[in-house]
A and B are shown apart, each in its own frame.
Chain A
Amino acid sequence: MKYLCLAAMGEVDGAVAAAISERLERQFALPVRRMDLPAVDFAYDSARRQYGSVPVLTALVSQCPDDALKLVALTERDLFIPALTFVYGQAQLGGRVAVVSLARLRQEFYGLPSNPAVFLERALKEALHETGHTFGLVHCAERECAMSLATNIRQIDSKRAAFCASCAGHLRRRAKE
């Protein structure tokens, strides 16, 4: 039986990880197994004071269990790619691994008081988004769809933690393949 793997890279908010696990299980109709992986310190870039998402994905490829369909990892660290100031996450498009950074999803990052409910909602959306990429979904023009491109936190807040009908249909077709 194929399954999805949800990994915590280093210390990650337990309640959020549990909620994401439950959401992925329901959305993709696949069992989710949880696992712990080393933190992303190996990907630290001292000049940028951030963590490179490319080496993280490379590490995840070697750590993905053979029988797992996908491996989605969570980290509390802030991720980047060389061309961009930051990324909320990164995935292999149509591949097996993805990573979601929770760093910029907390209200505290923007100097605002903590709000666990808002944080959880954002984390669910981003986990669905990056997992969707591993199933071959590209960004969706439907602003409310979890697959719509978000380049700032307002855009994450304006989408829903669900796929639009078109993306959901694409996922169903992929699931049958």
Chain B
Amino acid sequence: MKTHWKILVVDDEEVMCESLAAWLREDGYAVDTADSGRAAVEKARQTDYAIYFVDLKMPGGMDGIETMMQVRRLHPEASIIIITAYATVDTAIAAMKEGAQEYIVKPCNPEEISLLVSRIVKVKNLQRENAILRKRLSHRYSAHDVISKNPRMRQILGLAGEVASLRSTVLITGESGTGKEMIARAIHTSGDRAQKAFVAVSCAALAETLLESELFGHEKGSFTGATERKRGKFEMADGGTIFLDEIGDISPKLQGDLLRVLQERTFYRVGGSEEVRVDVRVIAATHVDLQAAVAEGKFRDDLYYRLNVIEIRIPPLRERREDIPLLARHFLERLSHELGKDVGEITESALKVLMDYNWPGNVRELENAVERALVTCRGQELTDEDFSFLARNGLANRAWAIPAGMTLQEMEKQLITATLERTGGNIKESASILGIDRSTMYEKIKRYDIAR
């Protein structure tokens, strides 16, 4: 929308001022005029104009450059276009040096002014969108927004707040879906690096060589396909925070490289000989037991101790069941808005289903479950019916919780039933999972009278 952006045209010549303002108004902008530099500064104090057209030569002791300097003191982000009838290289240089966005000579081609204004507005729209997104993101990941009444979680949030402004490395442990990245972002946004980049890397997602180039960047020609020099995530995170997820999965070579970055804050790009220095706070996360990996010789102990300066262990959702209703209602509120559904409540019976479920996928699984229930929900509240798919998942979970006293045949029947549930009744896939051939599978289904 153009009308959001206000423009001020400043010229002592009334016809010039009013006619340009009228022309810009036809384009949909809200335009004011000022007949002197002083009047312009006065208006700038009262209104936040996005663009100023300022005539260079104005009487009254304040010319265009002086006006621009005073306006910029009030609004450093304003775009100022100096207009002059007498262009000289010196005045153009002086104007640009003092921060003019453009310097145009009147009369100007209408196309030129139109393109200039639309270009400035485009940049301003992007800047505003960026600011809104940043604000939304920082709100979403603020420690105050992590929902929990569990004493252990409250303690974790307190610790996250305390360590936010330190540079120490943090190791976050916890099962998949417990919100390790969210805690990492909360630490980042609560500290003094909040305005700088937060760069998240999943170490498990990439092969060793790709991960190396992803983390440290590479020089042009360092390997096949490296057609350009590329900055790595460490460089991108300079001044900010890098979040290394699934750190337990990195290779011994990368463990060594990472140790060097943590110790010396320097590294080399892949194929490069120039040492790159960065100021990055490292937050690592893992769902595996790193101490056990160290004991087995799979993870370097020196790196483990470097990473584990501050450890935050996030409990799984099943250990903080009191948070389930809070989280479910929070996801319902957010997702119903995002999905445009008019669903405002969760029934008690539905909450009971959620409380009884084991949540192997933790908070992420709960969020997905609420979304799935919302998509299929036809009423104005989520009922236990809307979460019936969890019962099927639960059956799959229960298959592994075999009570003592069960016969081997009963156990086999339950295992086959659960596997068929998981594969949606696919015999070939189920047989492959169970490690038997298809004919044996058919025979067992028949023998145990398993419905498909």
Contact = CB atoms under 8 A, between A and B. Distances in A.
B113 A83 contact: yes
A93 B110 CA distance: 18
Contacts of B23: 81, 83-84, 87, 90
Nearest to B21: A83
Interface string B6-46: 00000001011011101101111000000000000000000
A151 B110 contact: yes
A83 B107 contact: yes
Interface residues of A, number: 22
A150 to B, nearest CB: 9
B109 interface: yes
Contacts of B26: 91, 93, 133, 138-139, 149
Given A53-B19, A54-B19, A83 B108 contact: yes
A93 B109 CA distance: 21
Contacts of B108: 83-85
A159 to B, nearest CB: 15
A54 B110 contact: no
B71 interface: no
Nearest to B107: A85
A151 B28 contact: no
B117 to A, nearest CB: 10
Nearest to B115: A151
Interface string B97-117: 000000000111111011000
A152 interface: yes
Contacts of B27: 138-139, 149
Interface string A61-100: 0000000000000000000111111110011110000000
Contact of A85 (B15, B18, B53, B110): B110
B83 interface: yes
B110 A82 contact: no
Interface of B: 2, 13, 15-16, 18-20, 22-23, 25-28, 53, 83, 106-111, 113-114
21 contacts: A53-B19, A54-B15, A80-B107, A81-B15, A81-B22, A83-B16, A83-B20, A83-B83, A83-B106, A83-B113, A84-B109, A91-B26, A93-B26, A138-B2, A138-B25, A138-B26, A139-B26, A139-B27, A149-B26, A149-B114, A151-B110
Interface of A: 48, 52-54, 80-87, 90-93, 133, 138-139, 149, 151-152
